[in-house]
């Protein structure tokens, strides 16, 4: 009986590690150009393009108002943008399959100083192969995907901080080298 439990524990450990790798590998590959998008800010109603942030580090996170881990992640991302400055870091929080009333989402978004954008049709999420949330991408100044984070917790927060620090440490001069890729 004890040996069966040990075998089961090893199986679960192997399965959970392999599913983590598979989940993190969804979406554009690290080092590729981030898919371009145009979306509306839920609060300001202004239209924005990812390419308009060229030269800045971009955090692109997919969230929903009903997702508890997402709601824990957003204040951290907002604080990061405040500390680094909007001239160097932009946070786009994409509302993903959120069935809450638009007024509730807008109420939440008004309290934040980040860009909360809508994706009712799911086009942005599909270009980034997002199937679960929270799912976050760090995009470098040159428009390339630098990191891909699926889920949120204490361990993922440490990884996110390390990836963000690395992205911010990269020289801004390479930002002019690569034009954004348009996605229709």
| Cα–Cα distance measured from residue 129 to residue 23, given in angstroms and rounded to the nearest whole number | 10
Task: Give pLDDT, residue 38.
Answer: 93
The CA-to-CA distance between both ends of the chain, in Å, stands at 57
Q: Domain segments of the chain: what residues?
A: 2-176
Strands 115-118 and 135-139: unpaired
Predicted local confidence at residue 180, as pLDDT: 45
The Cα 55–Cα 173 span in angstroms is 8
Q: Please give the structure tokens belonging to residue 31.
A: 């080092």
Please give the distance of CA 115 from its chain centroid, rounded to a whole number.
12
Tens-binned pLDDT, residue by residue, of the chain (184 aa):
444 433 333 333 333 333 333 444 588 999 999 999 998 888 788 899 999 999 999 999 998 888 889 888 988 898 898 899 989 999 999 988 876 655 566 666 666 778 888 888 899 999 999 999 999 999 999 999 999 999 887 667 788 888 999 999 987 654 444 444 444 3
Which residues touch 97 (CB under 8 Å, ≥6 apart)?
A: 64, 122, 125
Query: Domain 2-176: which topology?
Result: Glutaredoxin (3.40.30)
Dist. CA 117–CA 81, nearest whole Å: 16
| Model pTM score | 0.76
The alpha-carbon radius of gyration of the chain (Å, integer) is: 17
* Residue 61 · residue 77 · CB < 8 Å: yes
Which residue matches tokens 């786009």? 92
pLDDT at position 75? 87
Both structure tokens of 23: 């989940």
């Amino acid at each position: 009986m004890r040996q069966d439990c040990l075998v089961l524990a090893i199986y679960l450990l192997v399965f959970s590690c392999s599913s983590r790798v598979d989940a993190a590998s969804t979406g554009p590959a690290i080092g590729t150009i981030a898919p371009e998008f145009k979306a509306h800010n839920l609060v300001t109603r202004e239209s924005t393009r990812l390419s308009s942030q060229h030269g800045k580090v971009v955090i692109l996170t997919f969230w929903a108002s009903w997702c508890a881990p997402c709601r824990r992640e957003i204040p951290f991302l907002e604080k990061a943008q405040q500390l680094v400055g909007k001239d160097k870091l932009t946070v786009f929080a994409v509302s993903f399959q959120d069935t809450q009333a638009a007024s509730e989402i807008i109420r939440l978004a008004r309290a934040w100083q980040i860009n909360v954008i809508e994706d009712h049709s799911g086009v942005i999420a599909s270009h980034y192969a997002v199937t679960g949330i929270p799912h976050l991408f760090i995009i470098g100044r040159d428009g390339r995907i630098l990191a891909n984070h699926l889920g949120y917790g204490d361990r993922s927060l440490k990884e996110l901080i390390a990836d963000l620090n690395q992205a911010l440490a990269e020289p801004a001069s390479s930002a002019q080298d690569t034009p954004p890729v348009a996605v229709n």
